[in-house]
A and B are shown apart, each in its own frame.
Chain A
């Protein structure tokens, strides 16, 4: 008695080879050419390498727009004790001089012009000698116009973040999330994701999303990871960070 199961087993011996062979027109068993000859590899690589280039190099460039900041800001200069810069016992304290908390506990983020004019109060007499400052006094201080800064760290509208809870109550350092922004002499170019509109700093400069430092990325998982690590799992509740 012929077992159909057996027969199908037989015919499936070397099945995939014969299946591939059948795909190539004009081929038969006698003139079989293995699929991966040298020329075959070349075509494969011709597809593979450009794809890798597109994925790793071109795509990240195409994904992010480049927008210049309205003017430069030299963090190093403002924190330089030699020119009478902002002082403080800790780095965080220095940051908080301008990036301060309001009385209601909210965080100002990028300071308004009013904060700048606490020191740069006279548009006629610059404090330093830089051209940037002269420009700033003429364009903004004299006209009492706010500087349209582009924020590197603006989270989406659905996100709530309390700086005071982290910095004052959690005693975290600014650099944990913001890195060495305070050591920049020139503001980096602002780059926004053309699909989502968010700054590159949210996902991180690294297109793969690999994190080498805590400040390399600012996605939800990064917040949760830190909460968990520090034993604040209760702060992973949805409404703690969503509004």
Chain B
């Protein structure tokens, strides 16, 4: 009975046999197999009850309806709504990725903070909302005490006409600063073009539902252009010449609507003014200067193509010409937009089904007048830094490039405190990086951004807003929609961090500043402001608060159905708007053309009386030549007052910088103030981004001149700076133009975005658009250096 080798082996054999006779080995094998399927670091999404919340997307000015799928308190998927008039069920890539903005903690500000490290170091310290608002209120009060409220400035990227932007503008008025600067969008140019030709600056609405021929003057390289029936690519910045070339053919061939042109238009034929001065009309100007040959020369198109396009356009029943570049987040060229709208007028397709609709703004209640105190009155007397609305640029609301330049050029700090709302000008303004330089001369910067963007990174005080999925705000009539629409978003999820709706913050701030400013903001919550404005919609009587995508209201109406609002009291209507998110009036009463146009002549103006008045007023101070020079107009004589083509003036020596660089917006890349959700990176081609390098598009012929092959690296140099990118040889690219996508090249955010690609805005050498003074971002002279 000793434990010798033999017995030990027996013991082991017995043990092994015993274990085999139990379930242990089999169960263990099974469990280990399951264990390998459940690594603790692979997330297991918690289950729960599914619900859906309807809201509106604010990631671009489009304002699509969204329906968010939730599991208990978590939002898990954004989908398009079929019961919202803007988008029939679909949604864009950016909107689809919205949850990655909501839930990515490393790109969000989660609480109010103040800067502690050197500016731009990203070192911030937590503070309470109480402290943060007191700091800002004290600063503003001091400025006012010192009699310089104008040293407070705002850069606001909220959509035009939204209640949020109205509230910020109101705050600036009450404080007494004229320096409320908006980020320019296509709406600015639309508004001006309609004001000058039609007399109202309401939203540009086209009845695309009923149009049978749509001619779009968008930039050439867009995805959508690949689907247009007719793809006509004029050189960037020469679209006006193309439009006028088409006008030439239409007039010469007698294809225009003579009744409309004769009865309701001003300045078509040659005319004499009351003082006996003779003027040439639009007809003469176009016939003289824009023959297909000349237009072809300017635009780089074949004259034959221009003729056939014009005939096709004029031959359609309801043709409509629409202007714009990219997604509409950037401004256009004023004379170009006027030239395109002339096409609509020539075919008489204004205020007609399937044409351009001249619309009044939404009947929202205006907010009560602000009572200004002495300091505010004096402050508002001071000139705006950006000269917008001045005699030089009388029709423009804001000129951010001028604002930047004024700050940089001054020897002192013209702006003491800058508030930045829903904007990231450091990254998005096409100014060759000037805004970043201007920030260095501003002692105190306050960011209201929910995201840790480039501009917020430079801020001294962070008062983070909710993201769009956590708050209520309004969306007023997105551009292009033919019917008046008021959209209201609602919090899809409870705010997940210690952030606050900037609307509420402004009301709080105004009360802390006190005096006449506090009393200009009698509301306790932002929602009350929204409600007060919406009351105007109720008072205007009518309008629906729901929309059925399968049988839209206009269709029901066509079939003889009634469009009676399903609410009796304002409270009921407000409650419904809050749940459906919309108020909508899907009818258009076509006014007679006699009362339609609010221009000085009461007609559609080919010859703009307003431009004439403005030019004359400025000429009185000096000469006509200096006036035109100040307004950046190079045209001569009567054409100044009419849509015409102006050659771009370059400061750069074109023999050194022979190519042109055109930034372009991509639908699957956020180029505005919101960051790109990481999902979108999946949809980029590896000829758009590869590793950390982005690509520029170049015509193979042009590339051959520089000995560039697909994927080769090159430096693109403009007078403003240089960037390095790789070449993507693209047959669709126009010769001698270099196309660079907007939205890359972030220095802020996290590993999904930071350092990926280059930002073409850094090398844009923006000229001034004639008359409007807005930045000309679409053609920067550059040269290419192969690496």
Residues of chain A touching chain B, judged by Cβ–Cβ distance below 8 Å, are 23-25, 35, 39-40, 42-52, 54-56, 59, 63, 102, 104, 106, 108-109, 156-158, 193, 195-198, 203, 207-209
Sampled A-B contacts (25; CB under 8 Å)? A23-B6, A24-B6, A25-B5, A35-B6, A43-B3, A43-B10, A46-B11, A47-B13, A48-B18, A48-B21, A51-B16, A52-B21, A52-B22, A54-B19, A54-B22, A55-B23, A59-B22, A104-B50, A106-B49, A108-B49, A195-B32, A196-B34, A196-B35, A197-B38, A198-B34
Chain A positions within 8 Å of B17 at CB level: 47-48, 51
Q: Are A50 and B18 in contact (CB under 8 A)?
A: yes
Chain A residue at smallest Cβ distance from B47: A109
Query: By the criterion CB–CB under 8 Å, are A196 and B15 in contact?
Result: no
A39 to B6 alpha-carbon distance, docked (Å): 11
Within the complex, what minimum Cβ distance (angstroms) separates B325 from chain A?
Answer: 44
Contact of A43 among B8, B34, B35, B44 (CB under 8 A): B8
A157 to B44, CA, bound (A): 7
A23 to B6, CA, bound (A): 9
Q: Which of A45, A49, A102, A156 contacts B49 (CB 8 A)?
A: A102
Contacts of A25 in B (CB 8 A): 5
Q: Determine the distance from Cα of A218 to Cα of B38 in the docked complex, in whole angstroms.
A: 18
**Contacts of B37 on A, CB cut-off 8 Å?**
156, 158
Known: A48-B15, A51-B14, A195-B28. 6 other contacts (CB 8 A): A47-B14, A48-B17, A52-B22, A59-B24, A59-B27, A102-B50
Query: Nearest Cβ distance between residue B517 and chain A, in whole angstroms?
Result: 41
Check A44–B11 contact: CB distance below 8 A.
yes
Q: Given that A40-B10, A106-B49, A196-B34 are contacting pairs, would A49 and B27 also be in contact in the complex, using a CB cutoff of 8 Å?
A: no
Check B18 against A51 for contact (C-beta < 8 Å).
yes
- CB-CB < 8 A to B34: which residues of A? 156, 195-196, 198
Contacts of B312 in A (CB 8 A): none
CB closest chain-A residue, reference B22: A55
B49 lies within 8 A of A47 (CB): no
Taken together as a complex, chains A and B put the C-alpha atoms of A106 and B51 apart, in Å, by 12
Provide the residues of chain A in CB contact with B274, threshold 8 Å: none
- Contacts A39-B1, A42-B1, A52-B22 known; A47 to B38 CB distance under 8 Å? no
Distance of A16 from chain B, by nearest CB (Å) = 15
User: For B7, what are the chain A residues with a Cβ–Cβ distance below 8 Å?
Assistant: 39-40, 43
CB neighbours (8 Å) of B14 from chain A are 43-49, 51
A55-B49 in contact (CB<8A): no
B38 near A196 (CB under 8 angstroms)? Answer: yes
What residues of B have a CB within 8 angstroms of the CB of A157 in the complex? 38, 44-45
B539 at the interface (CB under 8 A from A): no
- B: residues with CB less than 8 A from A are 1, 3, 5-8, 10-19, 21-24, 26-28, 31-32, 34-35, 37-38, 44-45, 47, 49-50
Query: A51 near B35 (CB under 8 angstroms)?
Result: no
Inter-subunit contact A193/B31 (CB<8 Å): yes
- Of B6, B19, B32, B49, the residue contacting A51 (CB under 8 A) is B19
Q: Which residues of A contact B35 (CB under 8 A)?
A: 195-196
Give the nearest-CB partner of A20 in chain B.
B6
Q: Which 5 A-B pairs have the closest CB atoms?
A: A55-B22, A51-B18, A47-B14, A47-B15, A48-B14
Decide if B27 touches A203 in the complex (CB within 8 Å).
Answer: yes
Distance A104 CA – B31 CA, assembled complex (angstroms):
35
Output the nearest chain B residue to A44 by Cβ-Cβ distance. Answer: B14
Residues of chain B with a CB closer than 8 A to A51's CB: 14-19, 21-22
Q: A196: which of B6, B19, B31, B45 is its contact (CB, 8 Å)?
A: B31
Question: In this complex, what residue of A is CB-closest to B14?
Answer: A47
State whether A55 touches B18 (Cβ < 8 A). Answer: yes
Task: Name the A residues within 8 Å of B24 (CB-CB).
Answer: 54-55, 59
Bound: A157/B47 CA distance, A = 10
Given A102-B49, A158-B37, A209-B23, does the pair A52, B6 have CB atoms closer than 8 Å?
no
Which of A47, A198, A208 makes the CB contact (< 8 A) with B12? A47
CA distance A44 to B21 in the complex (A): 14
Interface pair B13/A106, CB less than 8 Å apart: no
Q: How many angstroms between the C-alpha atoms of A157 and B24 in the bound complex?
A: 25
Give the chain B neighbours of A55 by CB distance below 8 A: 18-19, 21-24
* Complex Cα spacing A49 to B47, Å: 45
- Residues B38 and A43 in contact, CB atoms below 8 Å apart: no
**A207 contacts which chain B residues (CB < 8 A)?**
23, 27
Q: What separation, in Å, do the CA atoms of A42 and B49 have in the docked complex?
A: 61
Q: Which residue of A lies closest to B44 (CB)?
A: A157
Q: Roughly how many angstroms separate A196 CA and B38 CA in the complex, as a whole number?
A: 7
Distance of A61 from chain B, by nearest CB (Å)? 12
CB distance from B79 to the nearest CB of A (A): 15
Nearest CB of A to B66, in Å: 20
CB neighbours (8 Å) of A156 from chain B are 34, 37-38
A36 vs B4: C-alpha distance when bound (angstroms) = 14
Point out the residues of chain A lying under 8 angstroms from B21, CB to CB: 48, 51-52, 55
Measured in the bound complex, the distance between the Cα atoms of B1 and A58 in whole Å is 28
Selected contact of A49 from candidates B1, B10, B13, B18, CB within 8 Å: B18
Beta-carbon nearest neighbor of A46 in chain B? B11
C-alpha gap A55/B17 in the complex (Å): 11
Are A47 and B11 in contact, CB atoms less than 8 angstroms apart? yes
CB contacts (< 8 Å) of B32 on chain A: these are: 195
Q: Which of A25, A39, A47 has the most CB of B within 10 A?
A: A47
What separation, in Å, do the CA atoms of A51 and B16 have in the docked complex? 7
B1 / chain A contacts, CB cutoff of 8 Å: 39, 42
Q: Contact check, A52 vs B31: say whether CB atoms are below 8 A apart.
A: no
CA distance A24 to B625 in the complex (A): 120
Q: Which of B26, B27, B47, B49 contacts A63 (CB 8 A)?
A: B27
A-side contacts of B15, CB under 8 Å = 47-48, 50-51
Q: How far is the CB of B613 from chain A (nearest CB, A)?
A: 63
Q: Which single member of B6, B16, B26 contacts A40 (CB below 8 Å)?
A: B6
A56 to B24, CA, bound (A): 7
With contacts A54-B22, A156-B37, A208-B23 taken as known, whether A47 is within 8 angstroms of B10 at the C-beta atoms is yes
Closest-CB distance, B9 to chain A (whole angstroms): 8
Chain B neighbourhood of A52, CB < 8 A:
18, 21-22
User: Whole-angstrom distance between the alpha carbons of A193 and B33 in the complex?
Assistant: 13
Contacts of B5 in A (CB 8 A): 24-25
Docked CA distance A115–B52 (Å): 21
Q: How far is the CA of A68 from the CA of B18 in the complex (A)?
A: 33
Q: Given the complex of chains A and B, what is the CA–CA distance between A35 and B10 in angstroms? A: 9
Chain B residues, CB < 8 A from A63:
27, 31
Q: How far is the CA of A157 from the CA of B45 in the complex (A)?
A: 8
Closest to A51 in B: B18
Which B-chain residue is minimally distant from A209 (CB atoms)?
B23
Residues in chain B near residue A47, CB distance under 8 A: 10-18
Measured in the bound complex, the distance between the Cα atoms of B47 and A108 in whole Å is 10
**Cβ contact within 8 Å between B11 and A43:** yes
Q: Please give, as numbers and ranges, the residues of chain A lying within 8 Å of B23 by CB-CB distance.
A: 55-56, 207-209
Q: Please, which residues of chain B bring their CB within 8 A of the CB of A195?
A: 28, 31-32, 34-35
Q: How far is the CA of A3 from the CA of B103 in the complex (A)?
A: 83
Interchain nearest-CB distance for A44 vs B (Å):
4
| Chain A residues within 8 Å of B10, by CB | 35, 40, 43-44, 47
Contacts of A24 in B (CB 8 A): 5-6
B473 to chain A, nearest CB (A): 30
| Chain A neighbourhood of B19, CB < 8 A | 51, 54-55
Question: In the complex, what's the smallest C-beta–C-beta distance from B431 to chain A, in angstroms?
Answer: 50
What CA separation (Å) do A86 and B573 show in the bound complex?
42
Closest to B49 in A: A102
State how many angstroms separate the Cβ of A117 from the closest Cβ of chain B.
Answer: 16
Instruction: Report the nearest A residue to B72, measured CB to CB.
Output: A112
Closest to B34 in A: A196
Bound Cα distance A39, B8 (Å): 11
Nearest CB of chain A from residue B31's CB, rounded to whole Å:
4
Cα–Cα distance between A25 and B50 once the two chains are bound (Å): 74
By beta carbon, the residue of chain A nearest B35 is A195
CB distance from B4 to the nearest CB of A (A): 9
Query: Max chain B CB contacts within 10 Å: which of A43, A63, A108, A209?
Result: A43
Query: In the complex, what residues of B have CB within 8 A of residue A42's CB?
Result: 1
Q: How far is the CA of A55 from the CA of B44 in the complex (A)?
A: 32
A156 to B34, CA, bound (A): 9
